[in-house]
Structure 1
C-alpha cells in the first residue's frame, strides 16, 4: 500500500505457511486449516511458498490451496479467506481448463496453480497462520512497540490487501477507537517507514545524527472502514503484535 508511495519503507513477515501431508478432500482440508490454523493458503507470496516447498514438502506433486469456484456458471474464482479478492493469477499453461466443471484449486511444482475436477479427491494441502495478537491494554506507540518486541516479535506491518484484511479482523475486537501499527513518520525527511527489529527504532536518526522526534505514528481505525491515520504517538490505544 504505502510501500509503493514510499520506497524506503521496510516490511516484516506477517504470516507463515504449513504443508500438511495428511490426505483430505478440499472441504476437509479447509475445515482442518480453520480449526488448527487460519485458513487454507491464500497464495499471494510466492517467495514464502517456494521456501516452504523446498524445505518441507519433499516430492509434493499437488496440494490443495484455498482457491475455489462455486458459481456453476460463469467461472469466477475466490480465495477461501473471506474478503480477500482474487486479482492475481499464477495458473499453469492451459489452466483453468474447466474439465468436468472443476471447482477446487491446487498448487504443484513448479509453483503454478491448477483446477481439479474432483474436489472429493484426497490430497495433501497447505494451511497458513496469521501470527497476529491483539493486545487490549492501552499504551502509547513507543510502549506498544517495546511490549511487542519483548513478548512477541514486533508491532504489526501491512503490505498486502490480504494482510490488511487479517489485521482489520483483529482490530474489530479492540476496545479503543484505533490500534497502533508499526508505522512511523520521519518529519525531517518526510516519509513513512515500517519499523522492523532489524530496521530503525521508534526514534529516527537523521543523516547528520540529529534525532527526528515529531512523534507521529500510524494507527488503524477499529470501528469504521479500517483506514490508516496519522496520530500523535503519545496517545494510548490497543495494538496488534506479530508473532514472527
Structure 2
C-alpha cells in the first residue's frame, strides 16, 4: 500500500494537500512510478507526513513513503533533514534496507525495508503536472488548456520552487512556462494576461522578440530563458 497527495498552486506551502491511500501492494519503485503516473509522487516531506489529512488515512499496516536511502532523500526532492526512525526496527538489517516505510502502529515512527518488498503506499497530488512530451510553445499551451487548465504561471518564489521540482524530472534541457513576449504590449505577459511581477531570468537569458516564449532550465539554478516558440520541449501544466 502507499499514499499520494494534491495541493493548490497558490497555496502550495500550506497544509492543503490531498492524499491517496493505495492498498495494492507494490515494490517501492513500482509505487513511485504509480504515484508519478496517476498523481504527483510518493508522500514526501514532513509537511505531508504529519499533516492532518495524512493522519486520517493511517492504519496499522507499514506503508511506503517517499524516502529512500541515497543519503536518505525524499522522492519529490523535498528538503527536510529531520528523521523520525524507530531505531530498533531501523537498525535491523540496515545494509539491505534502502527505502522508508511508516510504522503507524508505533506512534507514526518510520522504519526501512528492502525496496523490492511489496507494500501498500501513499501518493499525493498537487496542481502541477509535468508533461514529458516534446511540443512547441503553442502546442504545449493548447495541450494544457484541452486536457488540464493552462500552462503554468509563476508569481512568487514558493511557486518557483514547486515548478522547478517538477522540472527536474523532464527529459529536455528546458520546460515551457506560460510566459510569452507580447509585441503589441511590448512586455512579457503570462497566459493569464498578468504582467510579470516575480521573475527569475538567467543572466543574458531574456530576449524581447515577437517569436519568444519563456522556458525554465531543468538543471542548475532553474532560471528562465527566452526560447523560440517553434522549439520543442517538455512543459508543465496547471490542473483544474
Cα distance in structure 2, aligned partners of 1:45 and 1:237:
38
For CA contacts below 8 A with separation 6 or more, give which structure has more relative contact order.
1
Q: Could you tell me how far 1:88 is from its partner in structure 2? A: 0.8
Give the TM-score normalised by the residue count of structure 2.
Answer: 0.53
Give the TM-score normalised by the residue count of structure 1.
Answer: 0.53
How well do the aligned residues superpose, as a CA RMSD in angstroms?
5.0
Cα distance in structure 2, aligned partners of 1:218 and 1:181:
6
Match of 1:126, SS state, is strand
5 Å matches for 1:1-244? 10=10, 17-22=19-24, 24=25, 28-38=26-36, 41=42, 43-44=44-45, 46-47=47-48, 50=51, 53=54, 57=57, 59-60=59-60, 62-69=62-69, 76-79=71-74, 84=77, 87-92=79-84, 95-96=86-87, 98-102=90-94, 103=97, 104-107=99-102, 113-116=109-112, 123-128=119-124, 131-139=129-137, 144-145=140-141, 147-156=143-152, 159-160=160-161, 164-172=164-172, 178-182=174-178, 201-204=192-195, 218-221=214-217, 225=220, 227-231=222-226, 235-238=229-232, 240-242=235-237, 244=239
Q: What does residue 73 of structure 1 align with?
A: none
Aligned residues: 195
Q: Could you tell me how far 1:31 is from its partner in structure 2? A: 3.8
Unaligned runs of 5+ in 1: 1-8, 71-75, 186-191, 207-213
Q: Could you tell me how far 1:226 is from its partner in structure 2? A: 7.3
**Paired residues of 1:42 and 1:66 also in contact (CA < 8 A):** yes
Q: Could you tell me how far 1:131 is from its partner in structure 2? A: 3.3
Unaligned runs of 5+ in 2: 1-8, 182-187, 198-208
